[in-house]
Structure 1
Amino acid sequence: MIERRPAIYFIRHGETDWNAQGRLQGQKDIPLNALGRVQAEEAGVRLRGLVLDYQGLDYVASPMDRTRETMERMREAIFLDPTQYRLDDRLIELTFGSWEGMTWKEVRKAAPQAAAMRERDKWNFVPPDGGESYAMLATRIRPFLDGLTRETVVVAHGGVARAFLALTCGVSTRQAASIDIWQGKVLVIEGRKHYWA
Structure 2
Amino acid sequence: MRLTILRHAPIIGDGRVVGRRDLPADCTGAGALAPHLPRGAQVLVSPALRCRQTAAALSLTPDRAEPALWEQDLGAWQGLPFDRLPDLGPLPPQALARHRPEGAESFDDMAARVVPLLRGLDRDTLIVAHAGTVRAALSMVVGPAALAFSVDPLSMTVLRRAGSDWAVEATNITLGAA
**TM-score bucket (shorter structure):** 0.7 to 0.9
Match of 2:139 among 163, 166, 183: 166
Identical aligned residues as a percent = 26
Task: Tell me which protein shows more strand as a share of its residues.
Answer: 2
Task: Tell me which protein shows more helix as a share of its residues.
Answer: 1
Q: Any unmatched runs of 5+ in structure 2?
A: 162-166, 174-178
Contact 2:5 / 2:158 at 8 angstroms: preserved in 1?
yes
**Match of residue 90 from structure 1:** 68
Match of 1:43 among 26, 33, 36: 33
**Match of residue 130 from structure 2:** 157
**Match of residue 189 from structure 1:** 159
**Match of residue 10 from structure 1:** 5
Contact 1:67 / 1:155 at 8 angstroms: preserved in 2?
yes
- Counterparts of 1:32 and 1:133 in 2: how far apart (Å)? 25
Shift of 1:32: 0.7
Secondary structure of the 1:123 match is helix
1:40-62 deviation line (CA, Å, top 9, x unaligned): 32332321xxx4xx0x2100000
- Give matches, 1:9-88, under 5 Å: 9-18=4-13, 21=15, 23-33=16-26, 37-47=27-37, 51=38, 54=39, 56-74=40-58, 76=59, 82-88=60-66
Q: Any unmatched runs of 5+ in structure 1?
A: 1-5, 77-81, 109-114
Output the TM-score relative to the length of structure 1: 0.76
Name the Cα RMSD after superposition. 1.8
1:105-160 deviation line (CA, Å, top 9, x unaligned): 1113xxxxxx316x5132110011x2111100111112201210100000110111
Contact 1:127 / 1:133 at 8 angstroms: preserved in 2?
yes
Of structures 1 and 2, the larger Rg is shown by: 1
Match of 2:83 among 98, 102, 105: 105
Paired positions, count: 164
Ranges of 4+ aligned residues in structure 1 off by more than 6 Å: none
- Counterparts of 1:42 and 1:176 in 2: how far apart (Å)? 27
Contact 2:44 / 2:62 at 8 angstroms: preserved in 1?
no
Secondary structure of the 2:88 match is helix
Match of 2:110 among 104, 129, 137: 137
- Counterparts of 1:46 and 1:95 in 2: how far apart (Å)? 30
1:86-122 deviation line (CA, Å, top 9, x unaligned): 11100001111011012331113xxxxxx316x5132
Change (3 A) 1:72 1:123: same
